[in-house]
Structure formats: C-alpha cells, structure tokens
Amino acid sequence: MSEKKPVVLVTGASGFVGRHLTPALARAGWSVRRAVRSPKGIDDEVVVGSIGPETGWQAALEGADAVVHLAARVHHTREKNADQIYRDVNIAGTLHLARCAVAAGVRQFIFVSTVLVHGRSNDRRAPFSEDDVLTPRGLYGLSKAEAEAGLKTLARDNDMNISVIRPPLIYGAGAKGNFALLERAVKRGLPLPFAQVNNRRAFLSVDNLASFIVHRLPHPDGNFDVFLVADDQQVSTPEFIVRLARAAQTTPRLFRGVNIPKGFAPFNVQALGNFVYVAYAKVDPATGRSVDGRGLGFVTRFTLDGKHWKRIAARGELNAPWGLALVPAGFGSLTGKLLIGNFGDGHIGVYEPNKWHFRDFLRGENGRPVQIERLWALLPGTATTGGTDAIWFSAGIGNETHGLVGTFKAAH
C-alpha cells in the first residue's frame, strides 16, 4: 500500500508564482490543494471566494498538513478605499487564515511577504538582514509588515511552524507588473534610458523561489523564522536588461539619460518617427508612484542610437507627463505638432515642432482645455483606425480602478 501524500493548501495558486510552485510541489510528493476565488476547472481546487477576515477556510484546510499563502492585494494602491482593502486582504485575511490553520491542526505555514518591509533601498547602508527593524514603505509594504507582526505573535502561543519569506522583484515566464513591461520593451527593441544607472539590485527567479519553498516545507527549524531569499548574484538594472535581451535572443538598446534632477524617473518611452521620446515624472520614494503637480515633468528627445538628445519640454505645464503623439494629417493647423498628455491633471499640451515650446492646451469646441482623468497613452488615428482626424486615448478613470479607451476628433 502506497504511503499517503502530505497535503499542502496553496492560496494564489492560479497567480504567477502559484503556477510555478504547484507543479514543483507535486513533483516533490505533495498533494496540492488549490484555494481559488472562483472555479477554474482544475483538479483539487477549493473555492473560497475573496480573501478577508471572514473567509470560510474549513473545507480547504480539512486534512491539510501545510499552507503556502501567496495571495495578496498588490498594484492597486490608487483604487477607492485602497487602504481598507489592503488591510482586509493582506493583514486581516492573512491572520484569519493562519488562525484557522492552527485550529485545523496544520503543522507548517509559509507566508510570502516582500522585501519592501525593509523600504525601497538600503541607501548605501549595510545589506538588509532578517533581524532589521522594519521600515516599510507604501500600502503593500506596510500591510505585509503588519501581517508579519501578527503572525509572530500567533507563533508564540501555538505549535504551528511559521516561515516568512521576503523576496525582491520576482521574474520569470508569465510575470506581471514592472517586469512584464520591461520584458516587452526589450523584446520590441525599444531604446531604454538606463545606461547610466549604477545600482545593484537583488532579483529572484520564480523557479528559485519555488525551489526554496519546496525545500522549506518538510524542514521547519523553529516556531517563527524569517528568510530574505534572492538569486546568488546582484546585478545593475542595465545588466539585468542585457540578460533579458540575451534570453529573448535580441540586442538590448540602452542609452544614457541627460540632466534630469534627482527624484525624477522615466515614465514613458516612445518611438515617434525617427526619434525616441522619454517622458520623466517625479517619483514618490515611499510608493514608487508618480507625483502629481504642475511643473513636475520633463520630456527629452533622443536619436535612435541614443547618442544625441534635445530637451523638448521642462516643467512649465507638465504634470506627470505620459502620453506622447505627433498630430496626424487631418488636424489642420495642428498637424505635425507634438502632443504631451499629462497623467497628473489630464490636460494635453500642444508643442511646436522644432521650436519645441509650449503653444497651448488641446481645447474642445467650448474653448476649454480637454481634460481626461488619469490620462495614459495617446495614439494618432490612421485611415484604417478612426481616420487621420482622430487621436486615440486610454485612461485609468476612477483613480485607475477602471479603464477608458476613446477618441477625440478635429472640429470641422
């Protein structure tokens, strides 16, 4: 008679890390039970709905030997009631699951936290350590730090072994967020203004994270343990881009940024005609998000090889500039001019070609400046995509909780 396999419950099993972890656990001899919000048609799934302080875990935890808690709220810091939602999911939801696991007799609980509980960088101080006093930044980092504190308290009074893993940026097939955007830019051959960056960053392959979790589950050391897990090499942002390009069998296109004040970072990179335009926005060091405000922005134009540049717009009417487009032929006197869309206030600036000074805001028939909440990209229309008298736009209305795609047309 074959020995019964130990059972591990994995939350977030259908996410990026979960899709790599669950087969690794199965290969290691675990019977994997997937906790999902809605039915996926996968073997051994248990529908638990949304994770929060009242989630019903009894069926999911029945007979489970271990839990790996991956599910979390992330990348939605601008949504309505974001603070409460992050607390409900990442703090109250985590602690409720852990308490239910204790009641169900679970022996091992692994919580995947984040290196952001230490802050966004060590600012040339000593490397982060598991014993550091935490200095979390942003809703995500703060919520994970508070969840860790709650788990540490829970571990003191119970026999369940709790392991906390604090990964840096996780990369690999199917990754989302900033890694996906960077990977897409590298594969498309877009020039990227990071050649002058001289940093050292920790990264973690999703396969290495999965391997660590698989190894940790049957070998708990103490009642509460914390691990900073990363690949064995720390590399600069340019070197990471070079490695991404090598994996994609392409050549990276890196060039140096120019005379941008500290605190500003590339917000959008776009090829228009024979040039590459880079829009820079001010970044909040606590959240990594753009900062709204008149005068907070720069736009620079580079040649395709990145060797020559010209400042197109600086401060003035810029407000977290993002969208960039050259006006198509059907816009009369505006044809050929550069449009710069501001994420901060939703206005679209019109800039003269070659002279590159601010002319005016794009205005509607009522004479008022066009204003689109949380304006993202701009794209000129063509004969087959709306006409040459159209400009397409995308935006994150509802403080980026919803999307909007539309066009505005030249008045005739």
Lookup: tokens for 158: 């119970």
Collapsing DSSP to helix, strand or coil, 311 comes out as strand
Active-site residue (options: 86, 140, 171, 277):
140
Q: What is the pLDDT of residue 361?
A: 94
Q: Domain spans of the chain?
A: 7-238, 264-409
Average pLDDT, the chain: 88
Q: Which pLDDT does position 325 carry in this prediction?
A: 93
pLDDT digits (tens, 9 = 90+) for 305-337: 666 678 889 999 999 999 999 999 888 888 999
Q: How confident is the model at residue 123 (pLDDT cuts 50, 70, 90)?
A: low
Q: For the chain, state the CA radius of gyration.
A: 25
Note if 140 is an active site residue. yes
371 pLDDT above the threshold of 90? yes
Asked whether the beta carbons of 190 and 269 are under 8 A apart, the reply is: yes
Q: Evaluate whether 329 touches 306 at the Cβ level (below 8 Å).
A: no
Of all residues in the chain, the percent with pLDDT exceeding 90 is 49
- The token pair at 182 is 């960077």
**Residue 283 pLDDT greater than 70, yes or no:** yes
Read off the pLDDT of each residue in 276-300 and give the average, rounded to a whole number: 87
Q: Which fold has domain 264-409?
A: Neuraminidase (2.120.10)
Which pLDDT does position 308 carry in this prediction? 67
8-state DSSP, 37 = S
Q: Residue 232: pLDDT above 50?
A: yes
- Asked whether 109 and 82 are in contact (CB, 8 A), the reply is no
pLDDT at 180: 81
Q: Tens digit of pLDDT for each residue in 183-211? A: 888 888 777 877 767 777 888 999 999 99
Dig out the tokens for 134 from the structure: 């935490």
Residue 412's pLDDT band (cuts 50, 70, 90) = low
Class of domain 7-238: alpha beta
CA distance 310 to 226: 49
Predicted pLDDT at 1: 42
Say what percent of the chain tops pLDDT 70: 93
Give 111 or 400, the one with higher predicted confidence: 111
Distances in whole angstroms, Cα of residue 300 to Cα of each of 253, 256, 313, 324, 360:
17, 11, 7, 11, 19
Q: What is the dihedral of CA 183, 187, 190, 191, to 10 degrees?
A: 70
pTM value > 0.85: no
Least confidently predicted of 110-119, 221-230, 350-359? 350-359
For residue 115, count other CB atoms closer than 10 A to its CB: 21
pLDDT at 44 over 60: yes
Residues 161 and 227: beta-carbon distance below 8 Å = no
